[in-house]
Amino acid sequence: MRNFKITIQYDGTDYHGWQIQPNGRTIQGELTRAVSLLEHRPVTIYGAGRTDAGVHAEGQTANFFLDRDVDCRVFRDAINANLDRDIRIVRVETASEDFNARNSATGKVYRYRIWTGDVVSPFARRYVSHHRGRLDVDSMRKGAAHLIGTHDFTAFTVLDSDVKDNTRSLSTLQIEETANEISIIAIADGFLRYMVRTIAGTLIDVGRGKRTCASVSTALESRERANAGPTAPACGLTLVRVDY
């Protein structure tokens, strides 16, 4: 058996997230169909993580095992020929036998995009969350500083999560601003479900003056989901890359 690692880009707008579901198209489901079709047998695709419905990826990774060796570039093109154009394999490469896209990962990078202009560009509309009007970026940065480090992020995930340990190490939470857009860059050893979107929603509230910078720390320490801000829309979130 040969182990192969793939790097995937996708526009998640029209998909029900990464993970295969009984009803609804998913990224994992489409990849499984395409690779299995080429191999004439079921092939299991192991992803680095689950992105939710509507979330995009510039550098999602996955791996799978084949009974044969393949030319990686030719196989990449063959997979893409069997996928819709909103999913693309950008790289296929051989991996060690013990490589696992999820368990071998050491960190992930996400970007959340907020459009603040009056009119959303048609070239950005699928990839940004629209919050019309100025946000106080300095206050957002001060609020974000409370989250950097190793913490229990229970307040920033779903209440019914089956994860046993909600502690994560957030090394970077950077906020960048251009004329019509604010981007939140989050880098951590791992993320909980809805964690980045809840952080974004909380910091947007800070930027709007609906909550104080100190309230971010209070929410974190409370470990109560009700004390953090709303979950920001999925369309603004992109998985930038997975580190190994």
Catalytic residue list contains 52 = yes
pTM here is 0.95
Instruction: Report residue 163's pLDDT band, with 50, 70 and 90 as the boundaries.
Output: confident
Over residues 195-215, the pLDDT tens digits come to: 999 999 999 999 999 999 999
**Mean pLDDT across the stretch 97-114?**
97
Q: Which of 52, 84, 86, 136 is catalytic?
A: 52
What percent of the chain has pLDDT above 90? 95
3-state secondary structure of 91: strand
Contacts of 86 (CB under 8 A, 6+ apart): 10, 11, 13, 14, 15
Q: Determine the pLDDT at residue 184.
A: 98
CA–CA separation, 176 and 179 (whole Å): 11
Right CATH for 2-95 from 3.40.1180.10, 3.60.15.10, 1.10.620.20, 3.30.70.580: 3.30.70.580
Right CATH for 108-243 from 3.40.50.620, 3.30.70.660, 2.70.70.10, 3.20.20.80: 3.30.70.660
Residues of CATH 3.30.70.580 domain(s) within the chain? 2-95
Give the number of other CB atoms < 10 A from CB of residue 193: 18
Residues of CATH 3.30.70.660 domain(s) within the chain? 108-243
Over residues 81-98, the pLDDT tens digits come to: 999 999 999 999 999 999
Residue type, 194: Y
